[in-house]
Amino acid sequence: MKMYLISDNRDTYTGMRLAGVEGVIVHERQELKEALERVFADREIGIVLLTEKFGREFPDLIDEVKLNRRLPLLVEIPDRHGSGRNENFITDYVSEAIGLKL
């Protein structure tokens, strides 16, 4: 099972290529849709790494894939600008999920 990167910037793409992960750089919604379709056609790809920008800019497209497809697994990763999340996002997420303040 292979990993594949769909990135919005060259720095993340270059770093992942150095780690042996193939991928593509896209910027527009249609480019992202086409890249995802190519990924779905390749049965060897089990994990797709996406830069977080796509989750912020095209949440409907990303959520549709996450909800309606078992494979590949979509994982949003921070890019060189860092994560868009606050520093306590894990604690906040767990608190919201179980209904207890940690």
Provide the CATH number for the domain around residue 34. Answer: 3.40.50.10580
The Cα–Cα gap between 49 and 5 comes to: 5
Tokens of 54: 């796509």
* Model confidence at 12: pLDDT above 70: yes
Name the residue range of residue 35's domain. Answer: 2-98
**Contact of 41 with 8, CB cutoff 8 Å:** no
Checking if the pLDDT of 58 tops 60, the result is yes
For 90, list phi and psi in degrees, rounded to 5. Answer: -70, -45
User: pLDDT averaged over the chain?
Assistant: 82
Residue 6, pLDDT score: 93
Number of domains in the chain: 1
- As a whole number, mean pLDDT of residues 82-99 equals 62
